[in-house]
Amino acid sequence: MDADLILFLALTLFAAAIAGATAFVIFWPLTLVHIRDRHPQIGAQLGEGAFIKPTALWWLLRGGYRATPDRSLSGLATPSRISLLVILGGIALGGILWILGNTLS
């Protein structure tokens, strides 16, 4: 494979991570407001400043919201989870391809 193509694919993955960040910034705060308003026990578990708190993000990644039988919570948390996975995957795979592309050139 050509190094330029690999670097282009890395750039595309970084762009996907940016798109995931955009979706995350939309859905995660909506999820946290829903939790604050309707599920104070989960809000207490996640704590203050849950937007960037590692324990809250881990709760989201592992799908902790599925234990609560609230379709509205699942409807907000699922896109948040997918977008967080896209961010992490895009950065990780883009970084690997960037390193690979730079070693080949």
User: In percent, how much of the chain has pLDDT > 70?
Assistant: 100
CA angle, residues 36, 42, 43, in degrees to nearest 5: 40
Mean pLDDT of the chain: 96
Interatomic CA distance for residues 17 and 65, integer angstroms = 23
Determine the pLDDT at residue 105: 77
**Does residue 77 carry a pLDDT above 80?**
yes
Strand boundaries in the chain, DSSP class E: none
User: How distant, in Å, are the alpha carbons of 21, 96, 100 from that of 105?
Assistant: 30, 15, 9
Residue 29 binned pLDDT confidence (cut-offs 50, 70, 90): very high
Residue 1 binned pLDDT confidence (cut-offs 50, 70, 90): confident
How many domains, in total, are found in the chain? 1
Domain of 26?
3-104
Instruction: Let me know: does 10 contact 99? Beta carbons within 8 Å.
Output: no
Residue-wise DSSP of 30-78? HHHHHHHHH-HHHHHHH-TTTTS-HHHHHHHHTTGGGGS--HHHHHHHH
- What is the model's pTM? 0.93
In sequence order, which residues have a C-beta less than 8 Å from that of residue 91 and are 6 or more positions away? 13, 14, 17
